[in-house]
Amino acid sequence: MVDSGANVATRTLPLSGVHGGSSVVRLEAAAPAERINLRVRAEDVAALSAALGVDLPVKPKTSSSGNGRTALWIGPDEWLVFGDVRTGLVASAAKSGALHSATDVSHRNTAILVSGPGSAAAINTGCPQDLSLDAFPIGACSRTLFGKVEIVLLRTAEDAFRVEVWRSFSDYAFGLLSEGARDAAL
């Protein structure tokens, strides 16, 4: 007999309801997203791009967007692809017919949106990367360090960024960004 009164686990977002910032920086949790870590040989990039509906960028530090999906170049054969929840990224990749590895990391990662005129300064609190527009233009992305954690950083506008971080480190990253936001306002 099935117990219909059994407790059911409900997934919660790690930064649900959290907000922060300062007069020059806004911090907020990004909406839930579907994400895959994708490994593809150079000769199969076109097939995977077609199957996913977004061009996989082939130059370091670049990204592309299309059809509600975004692809970030992480390494010579590695991309982080994300889109709206339940867009079927793994299934789309499987339809390519090309040799690849697509790992669903939707529940491993979460994202923090950092915006405002002090956003780069707030991120530079824990990230040594040059975030000037000349060195890190709109659409630029990289896997880098933020304090003691690894992040994937995407510049989405002149003064806006998406910080992808493992959910287990999201409180730490949000806290350090909050400190940076306060410092940027000084």
Domain ranges of the chain: 19-184
Q: Report residue 135 as tokens.
A: 């060195």
- What pLDDT score does 18 carry? 87
- What pLDDT score does 3 carry? 58
CATH code of domain 19-184 = 3.30.1360.120
Nearest alpha carbon to residue 126 among 76, 172, 74, 186: 172
- Summarize pLDDT for 71-120 with one digit per residue, the tens: 999 999 999 999 988 889 999 999 999 999 999 999 999 999 999 999 99
User: Average pLDDT of 50-60?
Assistant: 98
- Distance (Å, whole) CA 107 – CA 167: 8
* Listed range (5-14, 97-106, 135-144) with the worst mean pLDDT: 5-14
